Amino acid sequence: MADFDIHILGCGSALPTTRRQNASQIIDLRDKLYMIDCGEGTQLQMRRMRIRFSRLNHIFITHLHGDHCFGLPGLLSTLGMLGRQGELVIHGPKEIETYLQPILDLFCKNMGYPVRFNLIDPYQQTLVMEDRSLQVYSIPLKHRIPCCGYLFAEKPKEAHIIREMIDFYQVPVRMIKDIKQGADYITPDGTVVLNSRLTRPSATPKRYAYCSDTAYAPEIIPFIEGVDLLYHEATFCESDLARSKETYHSTARQAAEIARLAQVKRLIIGHFSARYNDLTPFLDEARQVFTEVSLAEEGMVLSL
């Protein structure tokens, strides 16, 4: 079972090519799947990577440019044909409902599952979704149309019981849950056994930030500071800096500068323009600023 894995389904930009697919990722957090963006070809990539459609319950859309959402109609239809029954929640700017509702009305009238839209304000950092394992926050980005990234913050896990100490103090089974959540144990004679004697700390919760599409925007740094992994778009190299400014995208060097300022642990760059065949210059530029950086590739699985 995956603990916290990120599957890269697509890391290209506006034009799908034979080299790179449009933007999409899957987060697998202990067998619960969360999708970020859904460009063309997303469901085919899920097939190739043997990702189970049935475990997907939330889709997070950054903005309404086609390379981030044109895969949704086909995916929704496929889920219906596979016999899905549980609710699917699509999170994104208000335009996502305007785009998808006519498609649902025309092509998906008899689907066996409900689609719910959670419309968010892309200009604010807000808690978008929360379940037992995870909190997801929006990250306001700087693009030509309303756009937001997402921060996936794992919730703290319960402490690990030290079985030998539990047996030594003869702790009743009914107390185990409270002790895992931080309670001390009081013996029948009134002795307080500190929680630290009964448990070991769980692993530190992980955080993953997804920032695409955006111009260079240092204002996002407080939202992503210290994350375990940052995915930041790098559509262009510095040689095309003027084009990046015109289209509200970032260069590899700018993505690395954001990572350096935010003191993130690792950086992965993607959303590469179709004009580039060789991505080596992206990596070279980024590493001049931030050393812990990798290039996104289709089929890549990153574990936190």
C-alpha to C-alpha distance for 51 and 53, rounded to whole angstroms: 6
Do the strands 32-38 and 24-29 form a parallel or antiparallel pair, or are they unpaired?
A: antiparallel
DSSP for residue 227? -
The CA-CA-CA angle for residues 79, 84, 89, to 5°, reads: 75
Residue 120 phi, psi dihedral angles, 5° rounding: -120, 160
CB burial of residue 207 (10 Å; 0-12, 13-18, 19+): buried
Which residue in 37, 48, 45 sits closest to 14, CA to CA?
37
Torsion region of 75: left, alpha or beta (phi above 0 gives left; psi -120 to 50 gives alpha): alpha
Q: Which residues pair with 99 in a beta bridge?
A: none
**Is position 67 annotated as part of the catalytic site?**
yes
Q: Which of 67, 167, 278, 284 is catalytic?
A: 67
**Residue for token digits 């930030």?**
209
Which amino acid is residue 298, in one-letter code?
E
Token readout for 137 is 């926050």
**Residue for token digits 């001049």?**
288
**Residues labelled catalytic:** 67
